[in-house]
Chains A and B, each alone.
Chain A
C-alpha cells in the first residue's frame, strides 16, 4: 500500500472551520480559568480582532440543542468589555493535547535544556515533567524526535559573552573565519545570543564591518569584555533567523559553480540561490557572496569535482592558486 503523505493533521490552515472550532473550544475554559477577562486582552491572546472575538462569543451563546427538549447549554455575557461565562459545563475544560502538539513543545523544551549556559534548567525539567503528565499517551512519540545542541565553545567564552550582554559592554574578539583561513581581530557590541539548530551564535554590531554580524561561539579564539559601553546603532536590525543566517546584499559577487556527483554536497552546505540539475548527477549552482576568498578555497578542495564558471576572473584566480601550490610540490 502506498499513499501520498498528507499535511499535518492537527494543524489546519488558519481560517478553516475546524481552526475556528479549536478556538471556540479553547475560549470558554480560557474565560472560566481566569478571574477577570477583558475583551481586548482575550482577543490579543487568541490573535483575533475584538470584532472576531465578539462573533465567536455570539456563536457560543447561540448554540442550541433541540432534543429531547430544546435548550441552550452555554450562557455568557460580555457587557462592559468583561467576559463572564455563567454556564458551560460540557466544554469548561480545554481539549487534551494531540501528539503533534505535545511533541512540538516537549522536543523544544528538551532542546532548551541542552543549551549551554541556560539558567532555567530547573524550570525546564519541572515543566517537562508536568507537560508529560498532562499529555499522557500523546507525549510518547516526542522521544522519537531529538535535537542535539553542540557545546564546543572554548571554556569561559559563553560566560564572557553573557557578562557583556548583561552589562551592555563592548567586547574584543579574535575570531576565526575558516572560509578565509583567517583569524580576525574585531570589536563587537553584543545584541543577543541565538541558538539556531544546535549552534550558538552571538549577534552583534561589528565595528569593523559596520553592520550586524553573527559570530559562532566555537570560533571565538579569544574574547575580552571591554570597559567601553556597547552602543548598537538604533537602526541595527536583528538577523531574521527564519530567512537563513546569510543575507545577500546588492554588492555581492555572483558565483556560478558546476559540481560533479561527488561535489553535490556543496549545495547542502552553502546557501545557493539556484540549484539546477544538468544531467548525470551534475549540478550547476549559483550563489552570492560579498567575499570570494572562501570560494577559492572551496574550489581547491573540490579539485575536479567542482569548477568555477563565473566570474571568469575568479576561475583564473583558482587556477593560479592551484598552480602556485603545485609548484611547491615539485
Chain B
C-alpha cells in the first residue's frame, strides 16, 4: 500500500518536474501509473497526493499555459523546486554537523535531520560527529513548544490556559505570538496579548494543556523592529537593587550571599558572626532567600525584611 503510494508520488513529482509546463488532471492521469480508472476515485486520490507534496514543501503550482486554455493545470517549477547551489568549506561543514546535533531528540530534531539530508544531497559532507570536547544541546520538554513554533512560523494567533505564578487556577489567554525565546534554559513566548491589549511574555512550562490556533495563517503581524529576545530580557530582568540589607552570616556559610555583598567582615558587636551589607530590590524574594539559610543567616535590617523572614520561618511551623 505504502510502497505503491511512494511509487505514485515519485512518478508524479518526476512527471511534473520534467514537463516544464502546466498539465491538466487528465494528462497527469494518463502519464502517471498507479491511479484508479474511475475519474472520481482518481480525483480524490490526486487531491490527497497534491496535499502530501505541498506538505513536503514541494512547490506545486496551479495555472494555465495560455489564456486560451480554460482548464487549470499543475506544474512544479524547477527553479522553485531546487535548492540553490551551496558549497561549504570543511570547517563550515563541521559546524553544520555540530548544529544538526543541537536539537538531538528535541522538537526540531526531525527538521534538522531533513535539512542535513538535503544538504548532503547537494554534495556537502556534514558529519554528525562530535566536536571533540564540546556538546551543545537544546531541549524542548514543554508540550506547547511545537504548536507555538508553528503559530509563530505561520503568523497565527493562539489561545491557551496559563497558570501565572502564585495563582490557584489557570486563566484563558489569547495571544498573537511574535517569537519563542530560550533564556537561562527556559522557553518563553512573547507577543501581543489580545485581552490585556499589551506586550506579554509567557513561560511555556506554565501553559496548562493544549495550545489552539485562534485564527488563520498570516494574521499576526510582528511590529517592525521587534526584538523578541529583548522583550523577554526586559520582562525577566530584576528591578535594580535600590535597598540595602544588613545580615549576620555564620563564618563558613552563606557563600552565595557573600559573593554579592557590598561589604562583609566580622561583626564587631557579636563574636562568632560576620556582618554583611547586601543590595536587594524585592523584599518577598529576598526574605525567602535569607530564610533558606536557616540559623546560618539572620536578617538584621531593614525591619520589613526581618519581619518577612520571621514570617517565612513561622510558616514552616504553622
Give me the interface of A with B, judged by CB distance under 8 Å.
1-12, 16-18, 20-27, 29-30, 33-34, 45-46, 59-60, 62-68, 73-74, 89-91, 93-105, 107-109, 111-112, 115, 118, 120, 123-124, 126-127, 130-131, 133-134, 136, 141, 143-148, 150, 162, 165-166, 176, 178, 181-183, 192-199, 221, 241-242, 261-262, 264-265, 268, 280-282, 296-305, 318-319, 321-329
Shortest CB-to-CB span from A120 to chain B, Å, is 5
Question: When each residue 71-109 of chain B gets 1 if its CB lies under 8 Å from chain A and 0 otherwise, what string results?
Answer: 000000010111111111101101110111011111111
Question: When each residue 107-129 of chain B gets 1 if its CB lies under 8 Å from chain A and 0 otherwise, what string results?
Answer: 11111101111111111000000
Interface centre among B83, B95, B186, B293, by most chain A C-beta atoms within 10 angstroms, is: B95
Question: When each residue 279-314 of chain B gets 1 if its CB lies under 8 Å from chain A and 0 otherwise, what string results?
Answer: 000000000110111111010000000100111111
B139 contacts which of A64, A94, A242, A301 (Cβ < 8 Å)?
Answer: A242
A sample of 5 inter-chain contacts (CB < 8 A) reads A16-B2, A111-B138, A120-B94, A242-B105, A322-B313
* Chain A residues whose C-beta falls within 8 Å of the C-beta of B3 in the assembled complex: 17, 59
Q: How large is the interface on B (under 10, 10 to 19, 20 to 34, 35 or more residues)?
A: 35 or more
Main secondary structure on chain B at its contact with chain A?
helix
Main secondary structure on chain A at its contact with chain B?
helix
**Bound Cα distance A168, B291 (Å):** 42
* Chain A residues whose C-beta falls within 8 Å of the C-beta of B14 in the assembled complex: 63, 65, 73-74, 90-91
Contact A26 B117 (CB under 8 A): yes
**Bound Cα distance A95, B115 (Å):** 10
* Chain B residues whose C-beta falls within 8 Å of the C-beta of A130 in the assembled complex: 86-88, 92
A17 contacts which of B5, B89, B312 (Cβ < 8 Å)?
Answer: B5
Contact A144 B228 (CB under 8 A): yes
Shortest CB-to-CB span from A121 to chain B, Å, is 9
**Bound Cα distance A73, B15 (Å):** 9
**Bound Cα distance A163, B221 (Å):** 48
Q: A91-B17, A123-B95, A329-B298 are in contact. List 12 more A-B contacts (CB 8 A).
A: A8-B108, A11-B111, A60-B10, A95-B118, A105-B115, A107-B108, A112-B95, A148-B184, A197-B186, A268-B206, A303-B311, A324-B294
Question: When each residue 132-158 of chain B gets 1 if its CB lies under 8 Å from chain A and 0 otherwise, what string results?
Answer: 011111110000001101111100000
Interface-facing stretch out of B37-45, B166-174, B238-246, B260-268: B166-174
- Interface membership of B22, Cβ < 8 A: no
- Interface membership of B36, Cβ < 8 A: no
Known: A1-B216, A73-B18, A198-B184. Contact between A108 and B112, CB under 8 A? Answer: yes
Contact B115 A102 (CB under 8 A): yes
